[in-house]
Structure 1
Amino acid sequence: MSPVADPQPAQAPEAEEGRLQDLDELDDVEEVVDGVNGDAKKKKKKKKPKKKKLEQTEPPRVGLSKLFPEGKYPEGEIQPYKDDNLWRTTSEEKRHIERVIQQDPNETYQNIRKAAEVHRQVRQRLQKYMQPGMSLMEIANYIEDGVRALVEEDGLEAGIAFPTGLNLNHCAAHFSPNPGDTTILSKGDVMKVDFGVHVKGRIVDSAFTVNFEPTYNKLLEAVRASTNAGIKESGVDARLGEIGGVIQETMESYEVEVNGKVYPVRCIDNLSGHQINRYQIHGEKFILPVRNDDQTKMEEGEYYAIETFGTTGRGRIVETGDCSHFARKVDAPHVPLRLTTAKSLLKTINKNFSTLAFCRRYLERAGETKHLLALNHLVSQGIVQDYPPLCDQRGSMTAQFEHTILIRPTVKEVVSRGDDY
């Protein structure tokens, strides 16, 4: 037979009550624990996932108002004034003037900084994108499409400030591909990339030089150093002739060796930096890159394009080649136009560009596909100014670097400065 299990002894009534009380307390604890866990789950549900930070695309197409929704754009590089003006940094009076400017309904600083940020983002992506074998037309379109998208082009409120300069080798300035141009960028080229952005007529003008092999590295180094020297010398009450002397001294301390022959780096003495006015790229004051007797002073509230050009050639440019750059004159005369097409073209220029510079490609984009005869007529009548390519002697190499600076009441701001130059 199988063994029989021993029967359990009967429990006393008091013990049974104690066991039931323990179970009730355990249930209470479990309810509390469940409640705490439930609250934790509820809190976890309330947490919203972090929004992914909006970033610029490649090619650049995200408008800056989306990247900076509060409308506050990065400040440029701040440089204190020289010793005799260092007091401005802490002056309560000058700081008050700064605050008043910040409250300007035209938002001077923010507009310039927005234009500068567009310039930085477009050019930094351009430097990764462009390479030998590309056409200049392709490079110009990359820049201009990027600027239009990022600045959120809006007629004369915001857009491109002047034609994109893509100047090769001995050509220093004012070349932009005309319709039908097929020029290809080569590995041995030295190219100056010069483009501008404006917001409400506040123009940022900045340029740099690229090369794809090291022969002319010293030329680029000389020009970059000269531009930085000019920026450092600039400020309230700085004399334009003295700034030019510092630029020249810096530039001419360099030389370039090409195929065993040494070339001194010279300033291009008839290309200058310049004051910038609203909707006007060239203001009244100019900074020649050589020492001269100009006693004109920079003044508080002005802003300038500090640009220098260096060359292995003769150091002087002349106008040559097909013109691509044009601008309606600020003081254009009121003259009767005998060509109906010229009258129509002038209306298009006034509507789309006002006194901002433009090129023939921009006229085509505005619908003026057959404009050459009318454009030449406006030039001959003194209404529109033409700006042909500016070149040193053939066989030489030229380089350019340029920044826009604000002569603020308290400090100097290099608004277009970036990590690249």
Structure 2
Amino acid sequence: MFKPKNNNNSQSELKQQSESNKQQQTEKQNNFEKKQLQKAKINKKQKNESIKSNSNQINEDLAFLESLIKNNKELEKKSNTVIVLEKKSDENQNILGPAYSEGIKLVKNRFQDNSAIRLLGNWQEGQTQQTQPPTIRIDEQFPENEYPIGEIQNYQKDQAFRTSSAELKEKDKLMDSQIKCLRKAAECHRQVRKYCQQLIRPGKKLIDICESIEEMSRFLVRENGLDAGIAFPTGCSLNNIAAHYSPNNGDITTIEYDDVCKIDIGVQVEGRIIDSAFTVAFNPKYDKLLEAVKESTNVGIKEAGIDVRIPDIGAAIQEVMESYEVEIDGKIYPVKPIRNLCGHSIEYYRIHGNKSIPCIKSGPNVKMEEGEQYAIETFGVINGKGIVYEDGECSHYMKDFEKTSVPIRQPKAKALLKFIDQNFDTLAFCRRWLDRGGQNGHIISLKQLCNAGIINAIPPLVDIRGSYVAQYEHTLILKPSHKEVISRGDDF
């Protein structure tokens, strides 16, 4: 039989179920709200991060722009500084010379290592007023005009009495004015060649070497028209070219490791000329050639003296020169003196005087005399004939010393001659110097002056191709009580 439920229990269950439903709805609502809150927090966080990211990007962009503006300002400032420095450097170059550049470190150190050039001595430590590189003119280094004395050598044999003669020593003093000019020119020569000995390296253009030497010579001696300056174009004769080669503008010839190059430099003060040369070689295979010629020059200097017969000096040079042999690649080459190249006397504004000193026993029976000045230079060659001839493009020219005035009709030739008279007179010059002086397009006018006999062309002197010529040269003066090798230095 069916039994009906109790009403009280039913109501209690319904109440409990209702409360359970409410609780579940509340929990659902709370969970929903929590999720919404978390979602809102996440959205807010993402939004903040996005804002922050955008803000960082903006800040980075601003920083980049600020940095770019700052860099541009610094570059502009630096660019302006370079211009200022260059202007300052140009001003300083007038004061401190062609080797000076802004910021360069200047040191006063006489020592210089010359081991890169074969058989060339190092410059030794000692007192110096000059910087490296040179920035002080010669007259500023020696304000009292007391310039360094060259190498003193006593006379020999029957002239040995001169060394101890009080009377002759007094006569020496009469030559002081001339000697001071020569000593000033010689000190300039030493400092210029010391400078260039650090510049001459394989791969260097010969024209750059010559112009560096000449600009430094002009600066150090304080070039002043015909009163002081360069005595003749810088020679840089390569290999079989023995002498009188200097590059014309446009010549891109370089010196290389296997070359033999003669560097011939001249400086003059009040017409008193220093003429001195040395040979540059980098390959030790040429050592014996260089040694032969250097020793021959030193023997010529030793033999020179008052009342000495010039052919006897040539004989002594020849004997030394021909005693040497050079071995190259297993083949033996005798060193030959170049028979038609000579040393020479030097006169006032005249590089080649009336007396010649050959490298062999030859020539007239002429004697050296007291007070004379000489360039003792010797030339030796291997794999050559020992005789030179003129060949190649001419760069050297010189006014004929003996030529009287000749009428010139061509206006351009007349203007060129006036320029030559004012700037060089009887000193040798080269085409580069005409270009430098604004004498553009001078070739035809120069040829006209040569054809008229007013100007002498002096082409390069060469031995046969494949030969190698070396040269060393010093200037000396025969004073009454001794001879002074004025151009002598630590280098050679």
TM-score range, shorter chain: 0.7 to 0.9
Map 1:140-179 to 2 at 5 A.
Answer: 140-179=210-249
- Partner of residue 94 from structure 1, selected from 168, 182, 186: 168
Q: Give the CA deviation at 1:178.
A: 0.3
Quote the residue 1:273 is aligned against: 343
In the alignment, does 2:305 pair up with 1:235?
yes
Q: In the alignment, residue 349 of structure 1 is paired with which amino acid?
A: I
The SS at the match of 2:175 is helix
Q: How does 1:13-92 map to 2 (within 5 A)?
A: 55-92=129-166
- Stretches of structure 2 that go unaligned for 5 or more consecutive residues are 1-107, 109-126
**Letter in structure 1 aligned against 2:276:** S
TM-score (norm 1): 0.85
CA distance in 2, matches of 1:108, 1:85: 23
Matches for 1:178-217 after TM superposition, within 5 Å: 178-217=248-287
Of stretches 256-265 and 284-293 in structure 1, the one that deviates more from structure 2 is: 284-293
Q: Deviations over 1:111-145 (max 9, x none)?
A: 00010011111101211222111101110111011
Kept in 2: contact 1:61–1:146 (CA 8 A): no
Report deviation, 1:293: 5.1
The residue number in structure 1 matching 2:446 is 375
- Once residues 190 and 341 of structure 2 are traced to their aligned partners in structure 1, the CA distance between those partners, rounded to angstroms, is 24
Kindly indicate whether residue 301 of structure 2 is the aligned counterpart of residue 254 of structure 1.
no
SS at match of 1:191: strand
Structure 1 residue runs without a partner (length 5+):
1-51
Distance 1:410 1:272 in 2: 26
For residues 214-248 of structure 1, give each alpha carbon's deviation from its aligned partner in whole angstroms, at most 9, with x where no partner exists: 11110000000000000000000010111000000
Match of 1:153, SS state, is coil
Distance 2:161 2:301 in 1: 19
Q: 1:340: which partner in 2?
A: 411
Q: 2:364 aligns with which of 294, 299, 310?
A: 294
Structure 1: distance between partners of 2:224 and 2:175: 24
Per-residue CA distance 1:299-332 (angstroms, 9 max, x = gap): 0000000000000111000100000000001112
1:374 is paired with a residue whose SS is helix
Give 3-state SS (helix, strand or coil) of 2:134's partner.
coil
Instruction: Give the aligned residue type for 1:403.
Output: H
Alignment-mate amino acid for residue 270 of structure 1? N
**1:54 CA displacement:** 7.5
Amino acid at match of 1:386: A
Identical amino acids, percent of aligned pairs: 53
Which of the two has greater helix per residue? Answer: 2
Partner of 1:362: 433
Q: Matched residue of 2:467: which SS?
A: coil
Give the secondary structure class of the aligned counterpart of 2:198.
helix
Q: What does residue 110 of structure 1 align with?
A: 180
Which position in structure 2 is the counterpart of 1:39? Answer: none
Match of 1:300, as an amino acid?
E
Contact 1:239/1:294 (8 A) holds in 2 = no
- Shift, 1:338, TM fit: 2.5
Rounded Cα–Cα distance in structure 1 between residues aligned with 2:154 and 2:407: 52
What's 1:353 paired with?
424
Task: Supply the RMSD in Å over aligned alpha carbons.
Answer: 1.2
Count the aligned residue pairs.
Answer: 366
1:69 is matched by which residue type in structure 2? P
Deviation of residue 294 (structure 1)? Answer: 2.3
Aligned-partner Cα distance in 1 for 2:302–2:129: 33
Residue 367 of structure 1 aligns with an amino acid whose one-letter code is G
Contact 1:60-1:149 at 8 Å conserved across structures: no
* Deviation of the 1:150 alpha carbon: 0.7
Question: Structure 1 57/174 Cα, relative in aligned 2: closer, same or farther at 3 Å?
Answer: same
In the alignment, what sits opposite 1:397?
A: 468
CA distance, structure 2, for counterparts of residue 54 and residue 259 of structure 1: 44
**Cα distance in structure 2, aligned partners of 1:404 and 1:335:** 34
Partner secondary structure for residue 375 of structure 2:
strand
Q: Secondary structure of the residue that 1:253 maps to in structure 2?
A: coil
Counterpart-to-counterpart distance in 1, 2:267 and 2:454: 24
Which of 390, 394, 406 aligns to 1:319? It is 390
In structure 2, which of residues 290, 296, 301 is the aligned counterpart of residue 220 of structure 1? Answer: 290
In the other structure, the counterpart of 2:488 is: 417
* CA deviation after TM superposition for structure 1 residue 337, in Å: 1.6
1:408 corresponds to 2:485 = no
1:272–1:288 Cα contact (<8 Å) kept? yes
**Secondary structure of the structure 1 residue equivalent to 2:386:** coil
Q: Which residue identity lines up with residue 97 of structure 1 in the other structure?
A: K
* 1:264 equivalent in alignment to 2:338: no
> Quick check: 1:386 aligned with 2:457?
yes
Give a deviation string over 1:185-208, Cα, whole Å, max 9, x none. Answer: 111110000010000000000000
State the alpha-carbon separation in 1 of the partners of residues 452 and 165 from structure 2.
Answer: 51
1:112-151 paired onto structure 2 within 5 Å: 112-151=182-221
Structure 1 residue identity aligned to 2:233: P
- Determine the C-alpha separation between the residues in 2 that align with 1:391 and 1:213: 21
SS across alignment from 1:230:
helix
Higher relative contact order (CA 8 A, sep 6+): 1
Which has the larger Rg? 2
Distance, in Å, in 2 between the alignment partners of 1:368 and 1:316 is: 35
> CA shift at 1:59, angstroms?
3.7
Task: Tell me if structure 2 keeps the 8 A contact 1:162–1:357.
Answer: yes
For residues 381 and 174 of structure 2, what CA distance do their matches in structure 1 show?
43
Give the secondary-structure state (helix, strand or coil) at the position aligned to 1:364.
helix
Distance across 1 between alignment mates of 2:361 and 2:459: 27
Distance 1:289 1:130 in 2: 28
Structure 1 runs of 4+ aligned residues shifted over 3 Å read 52-55
SS in 2 for 1:129: coil
Partner of 2:60: none
**Alpha-carbon distance between aligned partners in 2 of 1:361 and 1:245, rounded to the nearest angstrom:** 38
